[in-house]
Amino acid sequence: MSLTPEECRIAITSRREYYEAELETKGRWVNGCRHHDGKTHKCHDSPAIRVAGGSRKKNSPIPVHRIAFILKYGFIPNKWYVRRTCENRYCTNPNHLQLSMASSIMTIG
């Protein structure tokens, strides 16, 4: 059971400094991408950080690009996912992230 988008938003924005530091210390800049060197969780094809939150104290691995998106834009709307325009699955550069649905792409910022 993963966190709902709202639980995710609250968990991450309430510990903003912690997640910003995680992305900063484990990130290195390569050709415009911020390449994240953290652990890749088996549920995702990209690195993830465990985020604790929600009423049952669920602790879910959230892919780092989703965390980076929330830190920059505040939240991810329900049912949307975050697409990397650079197609680098390790990238957390907010400028390379945009919201996406299956059939449409919405540019942010």
| Contacting residues toward Zn ion, per CB under 5 A | 33, 86, 88, 91, 93, 96
Task: Give the separation between CA 60 and CA 35, rounded to whole angstroms.
Answer: 22
Closest approach, Cβ 10 to Zn ion, in A, equals 27
Task: Give the separation between CA 4 and CA 2, rounded to whole angstroms.
Answer: 6
Closest approach, Cβ 102 to Zn ion, in A, equals 22
Closest approach, Cβ 69 to Zn ion, in A, equals 12
Task: Give the separation between CA 30 and CA 75, rounded to whole angstroms.
Answer: 26
**Cα Rg of the chain (Å, integer):** 13
